[in-house]
């Protein structure tokens, strides 16, 4: 799908529907990259938590590591370097994904400029923004339901 969109970007689209389809696929690709970045960031965060937890421990202390779905008993001195290597790998992947994201953003902005695409906000989004502004001016007062006297 990405290759198809890339081919279509280079040749002039025939009609507005094709432009909209290509633009939609570009936006979809960008959203996939965002979700992948989020996933990798969460994994890197977990690795950091593990490293911080086991670093101060005695290197000969037993610990367990999940490898390919199998729980393996190791020592802290064996596990810590492996977790650090994995974290470095995740950081490299994250850097590459961010580069890809920047290229995709640039590609989308060039496509928007080429075909003069402007995003219109739907009525519901405009209403949400307006209600958000009104709620944002409140002074932090919480009102519960009225008491019923029987």
Reported as a single tens digit per residue, the pLDDT across 52-111 is 999 999 999 999 998 899 999 999 999 999 999 999 999 999 999 999 999 999 999 999
Q: Does residue 14 carry a pLDDT above 90?
A: no
- Please check whether residue 136 lies inside any domain of the structure: no
- Please check whether residue 120 lies inside any domain of the structure: no
pTM for this one?
0.71
Phi and psi torsions of 11, nearest 5°: -100, 145
Q: Does residue 37 carry a pLDDT above 90?
A: yes
Q: How far is CA 96 from the centre of its chain?
A: 14
- Please check whether residue 52 lies inside any domain of the structure: yes
Instruction: Give 135-143 contacts, CB < 8 A, sequence gap 24+.
Output: none
| Residue spans of beta strands (DSSP E) within 4-140 | 62-67, 70-75
DSSP code of residue 68: T
- How many domains are there within the chain? 1
Q: What is the pLDDT of residue 150?
A: 46
DSSP code of residue 57: S
Region 33-44 average pLDDT: 98
Supply the CATH number for residue 87's domain. 1.10.287.370
């Amino acid at each position: 799908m990405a290759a198809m969109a890339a081919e279509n970007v280079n040749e002039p689209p025939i009609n507005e529907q094709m432009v909209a389809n290509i633009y939609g696929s570009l936006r979809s690709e960008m959203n996939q990259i965002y979700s992948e970045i989020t996933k990798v960031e969460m994994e890197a965060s977990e690795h950091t938590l593990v490293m911080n937890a086991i670093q101060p421990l005695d290197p000969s202390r037993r610990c367990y590591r999940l490898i390919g779905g199998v729980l393996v008993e190791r020592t802290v001195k064996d596990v810590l370097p492996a977790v650090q290597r994995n974290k470095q790998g995740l950081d490299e992947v994250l850097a590459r994904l961010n580069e890809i994201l920047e290229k995709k953003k640039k590609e989308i902005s060039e496509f928007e400029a080429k075909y003069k695409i402007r995003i219109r906000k739907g009525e519901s989004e405009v209403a949400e923004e307006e209600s958000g502004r009104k709620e944002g001016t409140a002074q932090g007062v919480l009102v519960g339901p009225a008491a019923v006297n029987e």
